[in-house]
């Protein structure tokens, strides 16, 4: 049966006067709607008891095709609740893992992830167009194209659709880390843990190392539906030079372009062949932007817009071009071939000298 009352994690505490003034008691439930500018992908927002979160994640993991990646969001520095300006949390992604090994690694961390008020986490598969995320506000959000499957998943756990659902974020509340609580007030397993085990900076840092996670800029948080991924795959398959990438997660390739630009900004340490691979990656992104529907093309260009703008600023000697050797197609409109990045490492500069780039 649905729970008549809502049992929030220890990390969120609703103000007492807000609870008294609330028109109806907080309860479990979910709402859902189509994603903006989408005709086939849905956003679910779920409020549930803390003890149900693990069951929802386990059920969701079983719906993934073969593998998924873990998402972790936390503040790398301790947050001072009394400070006027709070730092922004850092988002980390793991590589793809099979669900079972990932679940085994997460098992001992899961209660702390659920209950700490400064931690958010999730599970996703970009190629399948699905993501489940439990925020530091202790609200679940799911993005999916198969809304009936997720509805059935929730109903199997007696979590029902409540159109006028009241969320904890609608009321005044405080966020609490596990270390904010008196140890004797915490149940197992927290009551027997050492301080460093309850410190979210410490245990999240440990998890980042265990899963070999990497930080992702907030501006690069995006969602591609399964339909969009299928359209991208079909587009890549039409180009022989890109056909090997049809089964890759295109979202990861977009992140790779951003990583390439960041490396160029810090000082590109590869040689000319490595540098051309980065430009080839941008060729592939452009081919997909031009070979898919205008709406999807515009969306993809928006995702890489910041990296593109940064790369333009890095380019010098823009009277020269570094077009691929022997390429007969007109690439004049492709700015990434116009000039060379200013911060060249030893290997790249050596190859440019050999090629005669610096000759007048």
pTM above 0.85, yes or no: no
Whether residue 189 has a cis bond before it, omega within 30° of 0: yes
At 217 the pLDDT is: 80
The pLDDT value recorded for residue 79 is 66
The DSSP symbol for 244 reads: G
Calculate mean pLDDT across residues 239-252: 84
| Cβ contact 208:92 at 8 Å | yes
Contact yes or no for 209/290 (Cβ under 8 A): no
108 backbone dihedrals φ, ψ, rounded to 5°:
-75, -15
DSSP-derived secondary structure for 274-305 = HHHHHHHHHHHHHHHHHHS-HHHHHHHHHHHH
pLDDT of residue 72: 97
What does each C-alpha distance from 41 to 82, 106, 132, 301 come to in angstroms? 39, 28, 13, 20
pLDDT band at residue 83, thresholds of 50, 70 and 90?
Answer: low
User: What is the spatial distance between Cα 257 and Cα 97, in angstroms, rounded to a whole number?
Assistant: 22
Average pLDDT over residues 173-200: 90
Q: Tell me, what's the pLDDT at 333?
A: 76
Give 178-209 as a DSSP string.
Answer: GGGS-GGGS-TTGGGS-HHHH-HHHHHHHHHH
Q: End-to-end alpha-carbon separation of the chain, Å?
A: 79
In tens, the pLDDT along 281-312 reads: 999 999 999 999 999 999 999 999 999 999 99
């Amino acid at each position: 049966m649905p729970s008549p009352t809502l049992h929030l994690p220890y990390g969120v505490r609703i103000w007492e006067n807000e609870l008294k003034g609330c028109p109806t008691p907080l309860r479990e439930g979910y709402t859902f709607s189509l994603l903006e500018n989408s005709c086939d992908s849905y956003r679910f927002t779920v409020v549930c008891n803390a003890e149900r979160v693990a069951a929802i994640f386990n059920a969701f993991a079983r719906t993934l095709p073969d593998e998924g990646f873990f998402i972790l969001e936390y503040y790398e520095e301790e947050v001072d609740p009394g400070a006027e300006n709070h730092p922004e949390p850092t988002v980390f992604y793991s590589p793809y893992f099979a669900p079972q090994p990932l679940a085994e690694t997460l098992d001992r961390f899961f209660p702390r992830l659920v209950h700490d008020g400064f931690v958010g986490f999730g599970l996703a598969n970009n190629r399948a167009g699905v993501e489940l995320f439990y925020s530091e506000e202790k609200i679940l959000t799911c993005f999916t194209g198969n809304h009936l499957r997720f509805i059935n998943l929730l109903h199997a756990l007696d979590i029902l659709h409540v159109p006028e659902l009241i969320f904890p974020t609608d009321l005044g509340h405080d966020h609490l880390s596990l270390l904010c609580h008196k140890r004797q007030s915490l149940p197992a397993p927290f009551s027997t843990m050492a301080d460093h085990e309850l410190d979210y900076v410490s245990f999240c840092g440990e998890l980042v190392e265990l899963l070999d996670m990497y930080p992702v800029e907030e501006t690069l948080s995006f969602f591609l539906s399964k339909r969009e991924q299928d359209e991208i795959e079909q587009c890549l398959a039409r180009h022989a030079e890109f056909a090997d990438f049809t089964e890759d997660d295109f979202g990861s390739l977009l992140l790779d372009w951003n990583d390439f630009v960041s490396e160029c900004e810090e000082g590109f340490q590869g040689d000319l062949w490595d540098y051309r691979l980065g430009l080839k990656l941008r060729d592939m992104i452009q081919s997909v932007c031009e070979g898919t529907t205008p709406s999807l093309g515009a969306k993809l260009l928006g995702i890489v817009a910041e990296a593109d703008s940064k790369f333009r600023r890095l380019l010098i000697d823009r009277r020269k071009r570094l077009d691929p050797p022997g390429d007969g197609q007109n690439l004049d409109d492709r700015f990434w071939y116009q000039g060379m990045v200013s911060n060249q490492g030893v290997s790249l500069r050596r190859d440019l000298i050999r090629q005669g780039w610096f000759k007048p």
